[in-house]
Chains A and B, each alone.
Chain A
Amino acid sequence: MSIAETMIPPQAPPPAPPRPYTLSRFIGSVTLGIWLALAVGIFLTVVNGWDPEKFSRYGPSFLSGLGVTLTLVISSIIMGAILSLPVALGRMSKNKIWSWLSYAYVYFFRGTPLITQLFLVYYGLGSFRPQLEAVGLWWFFRDAWNCALFTFTLNTAAYQAEILRGAIQSVPRGQHEGAAALGLPQRVAFFKIILPQAMIVALRPYGNEIILMIKGSAIVAIVTVLDLMGETRRAFSRTFDYQMYLWAAVLYLLMVELLRNIWAWFEARLTRHLKR
Chain B
Amino acid sequence: MSGLFAALFSVFGWIGSIIDPLCGPVGVFRWFGSGTLLACGDVGWGDEIAYGFLVTASLAIATLPVGLVVGFFIALAKQSNEKSLRLTANIYTTIFRGLPELLTLFIVYYGMQILVQQFLATLGYEGPVEINAFVAGMIALGVVFSAYCSEVLLSAFKAIPHGQYEAGDALGFHRGKTMRLIILPQLVRIALPGLGNLWMALLKDTALVSVVGLPDILRQTGVAARVTKHAFEFFGIACILFLILAMVSSIVFSALERWTKRAEMSR
Contact = CB atoms under 8 A, between A and B. Distances in A.
Report whether chain A binds chain B.
yes
Interface of chain A, main secondary structure? helix
Given A127-B229, A218-B103, A219-B102, A31 B85 contact: yes
Nearest to B89: A31
A115 B208 contact: yes
A63 interface: no
Contact of B88 (A31, A112, A117): A31
Contacts of B243: 107-108, 111-112
A88 interface: no
Nearest to B83: A28
Nearest to B243: A111
A262 to B, nearest CB: 14
A31 B82 CA distance: 12
B93 to A, nearest CB: 12
Contact of A116 (B98, B110, B239): B239
Nearest to A251: B103
A111 B242 contact: yes
B100 A216 contact: yes
Contact of A252 (B98, B204, B211, B229): B98
Nearest to B203: A113
A51 to B, nearest CB: 18
Nearest to A218: B100
Given A115-B207, A115-B208, A127 B111 contact: no
Size bin of chain A's contact surface: 35 or more
Nearest to A31: B88
B102 A113 contact: no
Contacts of B82: 22, 24-25, 28
B222 interface: yes
A69 B204 CA distance: 21
B235 A29 contact: no
A245 B110 CA distance: 9
Interface string A94-131: 00000000000001100111111101100111111000
B57 interface: no
B114 interface: yes
A210 to B, nearest CB: 13
A188 interface: no
Contacts of A50: none
A116 to B, nearest CB: 5
A119 B235 contact: yes
A253 B218 contact: no
A108 B239 contact: yes
Contacts of B94: 253, 257
A35 interface: yes
Given A120-B238, A257-B98, 5 more contacts: A27-B77, A117-B239, A124-B232, A219-B208, A233-B106
Interface of B: 77, 80-88, 91, 94-95, 97-103, 106-107, 110-111, 114, 200, 204-208, 210-211, 218, 222, 225, 229-232, 235-236, 238-239, 242-243, 246-247
17 contacts: A24-B82, A25-B82, A32-B88, A35-B88, A112-B246, A119-B222, A120-B232, A120-B236, A120-B238, A123-B232, A127-B229, A218-B103, A219-B102, A219-B208, A248-B103, A253-B99, A256-B97
Q: Which 6 A-B pairs have the closest CB atoms?
A: A28-B84, A28-B85, A124-B232, A218-B100, A113-B207, A256-B98
